[in-house]
Amino acid sequence: MSKSPLDAFFIGRATAEAVIDRIEETVTDALSALGKFDAEQREQIRTFVESILEKAEQQKGTVTTEDADISPDDLQETIDNLRAEIAQLKSELQQFKDK
């Protein structure tokens, strides 16, 4: 009769240890997947930024000297349009982040 409570204690202890091991494995796997996802997203953003910078350089190279003769009014209008586009993109990015 004294063996039964002792056996139950060790079975309970072994069960608890097995459950804790499974929880540790699950948490570790989840954190690993999250880290992998984060790294992939950062890489995609880096690639995206690089492609934008390449396109900007290509477009900059195609500008001729005739295009450089812009009146100050046209230049201010272009700057205002770019600022409006930047504000719109910031708004869209914020909405994307909030999702």
| Residues 6+ away with beta carbon under 8 Å from 70 | 78
Residue 90: per-residue pLDDT? 92
Q: What is the pLDDT of residues 57-86, one digit of tens each?
A: 888 877 654 555 667 778 889 899 999 999
11 lies in the same domain as 56: yes
pLDDT at residue 1 greater than cutoff 50: no
Residue 15: per-residue pLDDT? 96
16 lies in the same domain as 34: yes
Percent of the chain with pLDDT over 70: 90
Domain range for 96 is: 69-99
Q: How far is CA 44 from CA 11, 40, 50, 91, in A?
A: 49, 6, 10, 21
Taking residues 23-49, report their average pLDDT.
95
Q: How many domains are there within the chain?
A: 2
